A and B are shown apart, each in its own frame.
Chain A
Amino acid sequence: MEQRGKPAAAIVSGGFEEDAAITGRVLGLPDLKYIMVPDVLTGLPDELICSQIEDALEEANEILTSPPGAPRVRIGEGLTGREPAAPETFSGEDVMVAWEAMNNEWLSRGWADGFPLIAPTPERVAATLRGTSLAPDHVVGILPPGRGIATVEKIAINCVMAGCEPAHLPVMIAAVKAVIAVAGPGYDMSTSADAPLLIVNGPIVKELGINSERAALGPGVQSRVNIVLGRAMRLIKMNIGFNRPGIMDMDTIGAPTKFSMCIGENEEKSPWDPWHVEHGFDEDKSTVAVLNIRNQKELADMFNTTPEGVLDTFAFGLSVTPEHYGYYGRHQCSYLLMISPEHASILERYGWDKESVRRYVWHRSEIPAARHTNQIELMHKDVQSKHWQWYLNMPQEQKERLMLPVVETPDRYKIVVVGGVTGKSLSYSFMGAYSTTEITDRVAV
C-alpha cells in the first residue's frame, strides 16, 4: 500500500526485526517502519495477543500519523554497506593468512555458508567468465527474495567461491533463471527448511562429470561437480537473493540439505523419458530444474521383485502428508521420487510407465482423512480451500473412516532415476512451482 501511495504499517514480531528492515529496503522502502510486538502471535492465546497490541498502540499511532521525512537512498552501498563493484584487499604474512582473514570476515558478514571459501580473485573470476558467451554485466534477472540484480559477473563470483570451474557457469546461470521464472511473493522466506535441489539433464551431465550414480548427492570425489554446483546455488541465494539466516531466510531449525544438493539424472538406466523430455525439451538439450525440497525419506526395498511389492514400500513410506497443513488449507505439495536403477528395472520388466507408478502410489498411500493434519480445523474457516469445506464439516469419526490420498492428484508425484545399483530409492517433498530451464550460452574451455 505504501508503494501505491497510502500510509501503511505492518505488525512484526520479535526475532523478525532484521528481516522486516531488509524486506522494506529491497522493496524500495528503506524507511518503512514497523509495529513491533515481542512474540510471534501464532502460538499465543487471544488475551496475550490483545495485551501486546495494547502495548504497541502508541507506536502504531506514531507510525501512522507522523511525517515520514525524506528517504535515505543507499545506491551503491550493497546490503552490508560495501560497494558491490569494488574489490577488497586482505593482507597477511603469507597468502594463507590473508585467505583466512577473508574467510573470517566474510563469514561474519553473512556472505559464506560456513565452509571455507575459494577466494574470488579477479583472475579466477575472469577465467570463470570465459565459460559463457554472455557479457559480465548481462542481467540474468532479479533474484528473490532480496531482489538482487543477478549479473553474470555476480553469479561467476559466487561460483568461484563455491569451487566451480568455468564450464559450470552456464549451469548456474540457467539455475538462476529457473528460480526467477517461478518465484512469487514470499519465495525463499519461509520458516521451514526449504533447500534448493538442482536436477540436471541432457548431454551436459556426462560432459561435466555430474554424478548420476552412486552417492550422487554426495559426499565425496565422485560427486565433486554436483557438490560445487549445489553449493554455488546456496551462495548465490545468500549473496544475490539475500536469503540469509535471520535476514530473509527465517528457517526455524535449518537443515544440512541447504548446503548443497545437485543430481544428474541417470538417463541411461531409466526406462522412461527423462525429466527434461517429460518437461518438453528435446533429448539432446541440456537443462537444469530447481526444486525447493524438504523431508528426506529413504524408500528401501531389497526383497520385493514386483512393481506392486516395490511400490507398496514407496506408498507405505510416504503415507503422510508432505506438508503440515494438508491440501485442505490451500497448500499444495508434491513428492519427488528419486528411483534407483534397480527399482526402475523392476518396474520396466513388467512394463510400468511413470503414470502407472504415480497412480499406484497415490492410491496405495491413502490414509484416514483425520490423519492428514491436526491443524486445519484450528485455522480460520475462510483460510481453508472452499472445495474442502464438506470435509471440514464432517464428524470426527467419519474423518477417521474416510481414506484420502496424501497429495491431491497423482501428477504430484514427480520421478527421476538416479543412484547406484541397490534397491534403495529416496524421496523428498517440495512445495510450490518449479521451472526446468535450458542451459545455453556455453563456451568450450
Chain B
Amino acid sequence: MTDLIVLNPEAISDGDLNVKPLADRPTSLDGLRLGLLWNDKRGGDTALKHFGKLFQERYKDLTVNFYQGPRGYPDDLLDKAFEENDIFIGSTGD
C-alpha cells in the first residue's frame, strides 16, 4: 500500500474567528418599529411590504418603515435605518 499525504487547500474564514451572538429578540412586536430593507431586485419590495402589512395586522401599534438601496446597502442608509427601527426584514439575492 502507498500513502499520499497532501495539504488542505481550504482557508479558515475570518467569520469563524469573529463569531457574534445574534441580537436579543422581543417576545412581541407590539409598539415596535419594523424596518424593511429592499435590495432593488424586482419582487423584493412587494414581498417586504406584504410582510409589513401582515405584521401590522398581527401586532398593535407596529410602525413599518421601508428603505430601498442598491445591492450592498451603503453605510449611510444602514445608519439611518438602524436608528429609526427596532427590528428588520430584508430581501436578498435575486
Please give the residue numbers on chain A whose beta carbons come within 8 Å of chain B beta carbons, in ascending order: 1-13, 16, 19-20, 25-32, 35, 37, 40-44, 46, 49-50, 52-54, 57, 60-61, 64-68, 70-71, 73-80, 82-95, 97-99, 101-102, 111, 119-122, 125, 142-143, 146-151, 153-154, 157-158, 161, 184-186, 191, 235, 239-240, 242, 250, 330, 378-380, 382-383
For B88, what are the chain A residues with a Cβ–Cβ distance below 8 Å?
1, 6-9
Q: Within the assembled complex, what's the spacing in Å between the Cα atoms of A337 and B92?
A: 34
Question: A91 with B91: in contact, given A28-B20, A66-B25, A143-B11 (CB under 8 Å)?
Answer: no
Q: Is B91 in contact with A10, judged by CB distance below 8 angstroms?
A: yes
Residues of A within 8 A of B1 (CB): 91-93
Cβ-defined contact, A57 with B54, below 8 A: yes
| Chain A residues, CB < 8 A from B18 | 28
A91 touches B4 (CB 8 A): yes
Interchain nearest-CB distance for A252 vs B (Å): 9
Given the interface pairs A9-B88, A53-B47, the reply to whether A98 lies near B3 with Cβ below 8 Å is yes
Evaluate whether A11 and B92 lie within 8 angstroms (CB atoms) in the complex, with A64-B25, A185-B71, A380-B68 already known.
yes
CB B12 to nearest CB in A, in angstroms, measures 5
Please give, as numbers and ranges, the residues of chain B lying within 8 Å of A70 by CB-CB distance. 21
- Write out the residue numbers on chain A whose beta carbons fall within 8 Å of the beta carbon of B54: 53-54, 57
Which B residues fall within an 8 A CB radius of A? 1-29, 35, 37, 40-48, 50-51, 54-55, 58, 68, 70-73, 78, 81-82, 85-94
Cβ-defined contact, A157 with B7, below 8 A: yes
The listed residue (B17, B43, B85, B90) touching A41 by CB distance below 8 A is B43
Say whether B2 contacts A32, CB under 8 Å.
no
In the assembled complex, how far is the CB of residue B35 from the closest CB belonging to chain A, in whole angstroms?
8
Minimum CB–CB distance from B41 to chain A (whole Å) comes to 6
Interfacial chain A residues near B24, Cβ < 8 Å: 7, 67-68
A-B contact pairs, 30 of them (CB 8 A): A1-B82, A1-B88, A7-B22, A7-B88, A8-B87, A12-B92, A19-B93, A26-B15, A49-B47, A50-B47, A61-B55, A65-B29, A68-B23, A78-B8, A79-B13, A86-B8, A89-B5, A91-B1, A91-B4, A92-B2, A119-B6, A146-B13, A148-B11, A148-B14, A149-B12, A153-B7, A161-B9, A184-B72, A240-B11, A382-B68
Q: Is the CB of A87 within 8 A of B93?
A: no
Assuming A13-B93, A87-B6, what are 5 further A-B pairs, CB within 8 angstroms? A1-B81, A146-B13, A150-B11, A240-B10, A383-B68
A59–B42 Cα distance when bound, in Å, is 23
State A345–B13 Cα separation when bound (angstroms). 48
Which residues of chain A are within 8 angstroms of B55 by Cβ–Cβ distance? 61
Q: B48 — nearest CB in chain A belongs to which residue?
A: A11
Pair B3/A73 contact, Cβ less than 8 Å: no
Q: Which of B4, B21, B42, B94 has the most CB of A within 10 A?
A: B4
Partner of A11, one of B25, B71, B89: B89
Task: For the complex, give the distance between the alpha carbons of A97 and B24 in Å.
Answer: 52
Which single member of B5, B11, B22, B40 contacts A84 (CB below 8 Å)? B11
CB pair A87 B5 closer than 8 Å: yes
A64 and B87 form a contact (CB under 8 A) = yes
Q: Smallest distance from the beta carbon of B14 to chain A beta carbons, Å?
A: 4
> With contacts A11-B47, A49-B47, A87-B5 known, is A147 near B82, CB below 8 A?
no
Would B89 and A74 count as touching, CB distance under 8 A?
no
A411 CA / B50 CA spacing, docked (Å): 43
Contacts of B16 in A (CB 8 A): 25-26, 28, 30, 73-77
CB distance from B54 to the nearest CB of A (A): 5
When distances are taken between beta carbons in the complex, the residues of chain B under 8 Å from A67 are 24-25
Residue of A nearest to B57 (CB): A57
A98 to B4 alpha-carbon distance, docked (Å)? 6
Complex-state Cα separation, A12 to B25, whole angstroms: 20
Which of A26, A53, A98, A120 contacts B7, CB < 8 Å?
A120
Report whether B42 and A125 are in contact in the complex, using a CB–CB cutoff of 8 Å.
Answer: no
- List the B residue with the shortest CB-CB distance to A118: B6
A57 to B8, CA, bound (A): 42
* Contact between A121 and B10, CB atoms less than 8 A apart: no
Give Cα A102 to B81, complex, Å. Answer: 49
Of A20, A27, A95, which is within 8 A of B15 by CB?
A27
**What chain B residues lie within 8 Å of A1 (beta carbons)?**
23, 35, 37, 78, 81-82, 88, 90
Q: Is the CB of B13 within 8 A of A50?
A: no
**Option from B7, B46, B70 in Cβ contact (under 8 Å) with A50:** B46
